[in-house]
Structure 1
Amino acid sequence: MSTLLLAADTAGYTLPTPWRALTKTGYFIGLTGAIGGLVTYATTVRPALRGTSDGDGDGSRLRDRLSVCLAWSGVVLLVAGYFQLAARVARNGPGMPFGNALAPRRIWQFLRAPADDGAWIAQGTLYLVQNLVLLGAAITLMTLFTRGARRRLDQLALIALPLALAVTLIGAVPATVPLTTDEMLDRVLTQTHIISGTVWLGGLVLLSLLAGARRRLGPDAGLLWADLWRRFSLVAMICVAAVVVSGLWMSWEHVGTVSQLWTTGYGLALLVKTVLVLGMVTAGAVNQFWLMPRMTRARRASDTVSLRHLTLGHFPRVVWGEVVLGLAVLVVVPLLSGSARKEAGGAPAEPSAGVYTAGLALALALAVSLYATARASDALSRRTPAADPA
């Protein structure tokens, strides 16, 4: 932080006010819990539980714990959404103290403000729709606190998931059109970055919390959890690729040269975020190349003791490390204000056919690397126990 303050002094970088940083971090935590939890349920938990009955011990406990986690994510989303809306009010126009912006009357005036000249819709109206959708998603999730609603978990999750996704997507709708190709691409990739990042981190948090009930699970729970980790590892790899591609685009837009990473406030914040994300990727690689193959071999050998130890012991510990790094990323995100190019007095980014071609080539290369990673992990799982480095 002291280095970032030095850059702020030398390059004109301004740190966000504490209330602005806290509301933005809290908002992304809310999105992470709701979007990440719901997508992970739909892609990972629900398919794994499909073969279990409602009366099944481990499956029933998992459903109950997951319902409570999703219900609390609704609470966090609702609270974080309100504070984020108040922060928008405080920043609007000449601005006002954050405490004053919390008043419902101030918020309602902001939401009812007329459209600017040339706008097809008032910005406040877009925020009104966004927060009504947020309210719907949060209330739907919070119904899972009741036992009766938990019996309709699939239906409620099916309702809440598109609402949660719409919360962030509506925020990307422009009040003024038309947009240039660059602006449209920027909005699409920004949303790709947000959604893939929240799914990745939110899934890690949800599965880590679910694994905390291991003392209440039966001796064969390792079989179910091996399937859960296997399914989520594929989701996580796709998210990582999306985060990398979209993140590189946004970095190119805001950083003109490598030296700006340590000579500007924005660049330093981006550098810290990049290091944290690389730490998450490294932890994920440990799971993919070391723990996943061991889990597969234990499953094939019907070694339920080792499988339980790996899936509910080793794996969650590594995942909790990823969660800590991911939460640190959300703390850094509010510091990414402005642009390193502007701080350094450089020219804005100019997209070209060469830039688009390089981006497409990078996306294809990442797809190939994901395929190679999956194949390598599968090959390691077929190694004989004698060759196991553990």
Structure 2
Amino acid sequence: MQLIHLAASAGYTVPATWRVLTKAGYFIGLSGAIGATVTYAASVRPSLGEARSRGGDVEVTRRRTATYLAWAGVVLLVAGYFQLAARVARAGKGMPFGDALSPARIRDYLRAPAAKDAWIAQGTIHLVQNIVLLLASAVLIALFLPRARRHVNVIALTALPLSLAVTLIAAVPATAPKNADKVLDLVFDQVHIVSGVVWVGGLAFLAALATARRQPGEGAGLLWADTWRRFSLVALVCVGAVLTSGLWLSWKHVGSVSQLWTTTYGLFVLVKILLVLAMVTAGAVNQFWLMPRIVEARRDDDASSLLHLTLRHFPKVVWGEVVLGVAVLAVVPFLSGSARSEAGSPPAVSSGSVFAVGALLVLTLAASFYATVRASDALARRTAPTAA
């Protein structure tokens, strides 16, 4: 606590409560919409298509999917409104958040002219963003209608690019970036956000679907074994993108390892890193311990074990990851400012050597993930002789 106090006196400003709640809520809304639609398209939909013979479980999963996506649309709509009000309050230079909720204030903000050095008004960018957000929410909310649920595939695939556009449009700069570093900051920031919300949102989506039905049919084990297998690849890509973009962003804002515990910003980064590592550890448990046993149960046609692993044991670990993921989203609003500025360090400037080190780290990370997949497959093959 003393370190936090000392670091805060060096220039860190604790964000207002409304700022913390609106920003965390906004990322939760993005996780629900982007994470669920991407996971449905990449994992659930292909598994349902290959499991047409198991009609009961397929229909139940589709109904649960429609309900989840519909509520995700509601959450995105509400979170988007409060996030827009937060932008109005921040632009109002001391405007109370309660006043920023007024539609008149929001209208004035969205219609404000562009700044002198801007190529487009900031309000115009957010106007376009929120129009897209309304469309994405409306498409998802339509799944509350019985007729729309028959077309969950079309609706989910329509909402997917709209949901992604919500965050991508918001990242469009009102003024032209001054150098290549600014462009890379924007790119890596969006990579970090999209991969993070797909990871956390996908975990929450699948955990909710897997635990929603207490009496699954005989084919549910096979259906979910395929779904978890597909999502493990999605999660692996997201983890790689989160770590790669996180390395860049951490280097830009943290000047040295010691700043992780000598500055307030660094402390929050450290907490976030520990939470992400805990999520990666839980994912490793799934990859190295549960997935090989699921493969073994599927090979041995052990329906009872397969059902227990995929719909009882696996979701418990995933729910733990979801809790950690929500904790990460709760920390994000506190990452305001920079550890470098708090500590008086010079700004980070990229160079050829920095890019070379970064490329080496990315290649090392890719190699480790390839080794992870190969090791998991090897463990799955090794269980067969042992069981025999």
Question: Which whole-Å deviations, capped at 9, do the CAs of 1:253-300 have from their partners, x for residues lacking one?
Answer: 000011100010100000000000000000000000000000000100
Query: How far did residue 4 of structure 1 move?
Result: 6.9
Q: Does 1:315 align with 2:314?
A: yes
Give runs of aligned pairs for residues 1-390 of structure 1, distance below 5 A.
Answer: 2=1, 5-53=4-52, 56-384=55-383, 387=386
Q: Distance in 1 between matches of 2:345 and 2:292?
A: 48
Distance in structure 1 (CA, Å) of the matches to 2:60 and 2:268? 41
Name the TM-score, length of structure 2 as normaliser. Answer: 0.97
Alpha-carbon distance in 1 for matches of 2:233, 2:192 = 17
- State the Cα deviation string for residues 220-277 of structure 1 (Å, max 9, x = none): 3111000000000000000000000000100000000111000101000000000000
* 8 Å contact from structure 1 (residues 7, 13) kept in 2: no
- Matched-pair contact (CA < 8 Å) for 2:292–2:383: no
Tell me the distance in 1 between the aligned counterparts of 2:260 and 2:285: 28
Distance 1:168-1:4 versus aligned 2 partners, 3 A rule:
farther
Q: Is the Cα contact below 8 Å between 2:8 and 2:263 reproduced in 1? A: no
Query: C-alpha distance in 1, partners of 2:54/2:313?
Result: 28
Work out the CA distance in 2 between the residues paired with 1:246 and 1:296: 32
Distance 1:277 1:369 in 2: 17
Q: Which amino acid aligns with 2:181?
A: D
Query: Does 222-231 or 49-58 show the bigger shift?
Result: 49-58
Between the two proteins, what is the percent identity of the paired residues? 64
Question: Whole-Å Cα distance in 2 between the matches of residues 325 and 386 of structure 1?
Answer: 36
Q: Distance in 2 between matches of 1:4 and 1:96?
A: 31
Shift of 1:51: 2.4
**Structure 2 contact 51–223 (Cα < 8 Å) conserved:** no
Checking the alignment, whether the CA contact within 8 Å between 1:8 and 1:15 is kept in structure 2 is: no
Of stretches 304-313 and 173-182 in structure 1, the one that deviates more from structure 2 is 173-182
Output one character per residue of 1:95-134: Cα deviation in whole Å (capped at 9) or x when no partner.
3000000000000000000000121110000000000000
Q: Letter of the 2:356 partner, please give it.
A: T
Counterpart CA distance in 2 for 1:338 and 1:302 is 55
Deviation at 1:329, TM superposition (A): 0.4
Aligned-pair Cα RMSD in Å = 1.4
Q: Is the 8 A contact 2:286 2:314 kept in 1?
A: yes
Deviation at 1:214, TM superposition (A): 3.6
Q: Measured at CA, do residues 7 and 53 of structure 1 come closer, stay the same or move farther in structure 2, by a change above 3 Å?
A: farther
Distance change in 2, residues 1:326/1:36 (3 Å): same
- Matched positions, count: 387
On the 8 A contact 1:30/1:76 being kept in 2, the answer is: yes
CA deviation map 1:67-96 (0-9, x unaligned): 100000000000000000000000104230
Deviates more, 1:174-183 or 1:194-203: 174-183
> Which SS does the other structure have where 1:383 is aligned?
helix
Q: CA deviation at 1:341?
A: 0.2
Distance change in 2, residues 1:293/1:4 (3 Å):
farther
**Rounded Cα–Cα distance in structure 2 between residues aligned with 1:322 and 1:148:** 34
215-224 vs 50-59, which moves further: 50-59
Gaps of 5+ in 1: none
- Letter paired with 2:380: S
